[in-house]
Amino acid sequence: MLTIPRVVPAVEAGRALSEFSSDVIVGLSNPGQKELPSKYFYDEVGSALFEAICTLPEYGLGRAGKRMLERYSGEIMDCVPGQVMIAELGSGSGQQTRWLLEALARRQRVNYYPIDISRNALFRCQAELGQIEMVSIVGFERAYLDGLQEVAARRHDGERLMVLFLGSTIGNFDRPAGEQFLREVRSILRPDDALLLGTDLIKPIPALILAYDDPAGVTAAFNKNLLARINRELEGDFDLRCFEHVVRYDESERRIEMHLRSTVWQRVVIRKAGFRFYLREGETIWTESAHKYSSEEVVQMGERAGYRCVGQWFDFEWPFAESLFFAV
Ligand code: AVI
């Protein structure tokens, strides 16, 4: 049974909307490069589009994560002995987690705690994983670190907490922020708690560009939905036909960047935010970064953040790594 302990009361929903509104104002007021935070991609429409992206032949990342956990979950869980409880940061639909839960459920009853700001994602996760025998699910509709604090407080004596951060979501942070995030996760853990971290690895640029600029236009729709969401929730008047989806690879930063480029000079009004701004023809709004790593870099980043790496597994079809760390 899925329990979502935190119902979002009206006051809190209002607070979320005003945080969205102020993040939009700050990002679009930047005198240099205009930006919007990628965490706002995932409303109901954006989450469905992301699921569709994960099935695209060009987006090898989605299939690599699933393939690896299908193949290596048994080995991974053998490296994490004792009684284990599992928390997942940004569970999404939970599809790839199934293999890990099943592997663990072969030796114990499993308490699985998905943490996601999207209530929808938690329900999809329940639909996907709710039938696995020996597994009970308690979802937390919270920001990652807040949710993890609450999960850690439910730990029983002698139980080891294993945190899953899969799908290369860490790549959506800048490198220093990603490392800092791992450090903050570490501060909630005890020594020998585990972290399984998925990271997309550096690969030829044309394959990366296609993965984020698929010919069917699904990623373009995902990107533009951010403006559509502002229109829906904040009464914006973005004309989506006046934007194009742009994908670049920055070699020095080793990251994909997604932008929305204005095809005309335009004025945009966002009524609920009490905000208006202008875009020049050709000017872009930067909506997402997806950093790519080398396997050694992932180990070093983990070590600097307070972990030791106890195993790494690779997909060679779409270079991708699952790295298992223990907190030191
Ligand atoms: C969620 N995250 C890991 C995806 C990525 O590849 O960075 C989001 C995404 N953006 C465009 N396609 C997929």
Question: How is the chain split among helix, strand and coil, in percent rounded to 5?
Answer: 45, 25, 30
Which ligand 1 atom minimizes the distance to the CA of 50?
13
Distance CA 271, CA 21 (A): 10
Q: Is 61 in the pocket of ligand 1 (CB under 6 A)?
A: yes
Residue nearest to atom 7 of ligand 1 (CA): 290
Q: Is 169 in the pocket of ligand 1 (CB under 6 A)?
A: yes
At a CB cut-off of 8 Å and minimum separation 6, what does 278 contact?
265, 266, 267, 268
CA distances from 199 to 133, 157, 168, 187 (A): 29, 32, 4, 21
Residue 194 sits at φ, ψ, to 5 deg, of -115, 150
Distance CA 116, CA 110 (A): 19
Backbone dihedral region of 217: left (phi > 0), alpha (psi from -120 to 50 degrees) or beta? left
Per-residue model confidence (pLDDT) at position 1 = 41
Per-residue model confidence (pLDDT) at position 203 = 98
What's the one-letter identity of residue 95? Q
Per-residue model confidence (pLDDT) at position 124 = 86
Which ligand 1 atom minimizes the distance to the CA of 167?
3
Which ligand 1 atom minimizes the distance to the CA of 169?
3
Which ligand 1 atom minimizes the distance to the CA of 256?
7
Per-residue model confidence (pLDDT) at position 240 = 98
Best of 169, 174, 245, 291 to mutate for ligand 1, by most ligand atoms within 8 A of CB?
169
* Chain segment 183-236, per-residue pLDDT in tens: 999 999 999 999 999 999 999 999 999 999 999 999 999 999 999 999 999 999
Q: What is the pTM of this model?
A: 0.94
Residue nearest to atom 6 of ligand 1 (CA): 290
DSSP string, 35-98: E--GGGG-SHHHHHHHHHHTT-TT-HHHHHHHHHHHHHHHHHHHTS-SSEEEEEES-TT-TTHH
Q: Is 53 in the pocket of ligand 1 (CB under 6 A)?
A: yes
- Residue segments in the chain with a per-residue pLDDT below the cut of 70: 1-13
**Token pair 């114990």: residue:** 108
Confirm if 90 and 143 have CB atoms less than 8 A apart: no
Per-residue model confidence (pLDDT) at position 7 = 46
Give, for 122, the enclosing helix (H) or strand (E): helix 119-129
State the distance from the centre of ligand 1 to the C-alpha of 258, rounded, in angstroms.
Answer: 10
What the block records as the tokens of 25 is 């104002």
Distance CA 260, CA 244 (A): 6
State the distance from the centre of ligand 1 to the C-alpha of 81, rounded, in angstroms.
Answer: 32
CA distances from 284 to 28, 38, 200, 216 (A): 10, 15, 26, 22
Per-residue model confidence (pLDDT) at position 94 = 80
Q: Is 171 in the pocket of ligand 1 (CB under 6 A)?
A: yes
Per-residue model confidence (pLDDT) at position 95 = 81
* Chain segment 86-104, per-residue pLDDT in tens: 999 997 778 889 999 999 9
Per-residue model confidence (pLDDT) at position 117 = 83
Distance CA 22, CA 15 (A): 10
State the distance from the centre of ligand 1 to the C-alpha of 72, rounded, in angstroms.
Answer: 23
Residue 82 sits at φ, ψ, to 5 deg, of 85, -170
Distance CA 90, CA 135 (A): 19
Q: Is 198 in the pocket of ligand 1 (CB under 6 A)?
A: no
What is the overall mean pLDDT for the chain? 94
State the distance from the centre of ligand 1 to the C-alpha of 274, rounded, in angstroms.
Answer: 30
Q: Is 167 in the pocket of ligand 1 (CB under 6 A)?
A: yes
Per-residue model confidence (pLDDT) at position 20 = 95
Per-residue model confidence (pLDDT) at position 9 = 54
In terms of Cβ atoms closer than 10 Å to its own Cβ (0-12, 13-18, 19+), residue 176 is exposed
